[in-house]
Amino acid sequence: TQLLEQSPQFLSIQEGENLTVYCNSSSVFSSLQWYRQEPGEGPVLLVTVVTGGEVKKLKRLTFQFGDARKDSSLHITAAQPGDTGLYLCAGESDSNYQLIWGAGTKLIIKP
């Protein structure tokens, strides 16, 4: 069974600080997606990484796919209160093309 573990489960920091959240697995994924979900809303896709070692930037957010395509990280620089939300990663299974979801990292940025 393929699993994606996200860490930390919960993170509360002050505005302006930097942070990194992780998405790890022992399985290889064809691609990995990151979503942000705000209270009362469904997840919204932020980025998809496909190639091992790939780095993508979205303003202050930097996403990296591990060289072996088993893990990924999301780094936020100078966090803002608007970054508050639940960050979810989802990997596309190599075997059946279905998405495997992590449980999420709940991020709170305090003004």
Partner 1 sequence: KAGVTQTPRYLIKTRGQQVTLSCSPISGHRSVSWYQQTPGQGLQFLFEYFSETQRNKGNFPGRFSGRQFSNSRSEMNVSTLELGDSALYLCASSSTGFSTDTQYFGPGTRLTVL
Rounded to whole angstroms, the Cα distance separating 54 from 66 reads: 7
Indicate which single residue of 8, 12, 18, 45 sits in contact with partner 1 (rule: CB under 8 A).
45
**Closest CB to partner 1 among residues 16, 46:** 46
d(CA 111, CA 108): 10
Which one of 49, 64, 85, 102 is in contact with partner 1 (CB under 8 A)? Answer: 102
x/- binding map, residues 56-95, to partner 1, per CB under 8 A? --------------------------------x-x-x---
Residue 46 is a binding residue for partner 1 (CB under 8 A):
no
List the beta strands (DSSP E) in the chain: 5-7, 10-14, 19-24, 29-37, 44-49, 55-58, 61-65, 71-76, 85-93, 99-101, 105-110
Binding-site ranges for partner 1 (CB under 8 A): 4, 9, 30-31, 40-45, 48, 88, 90, 92, 97-99, 101-104
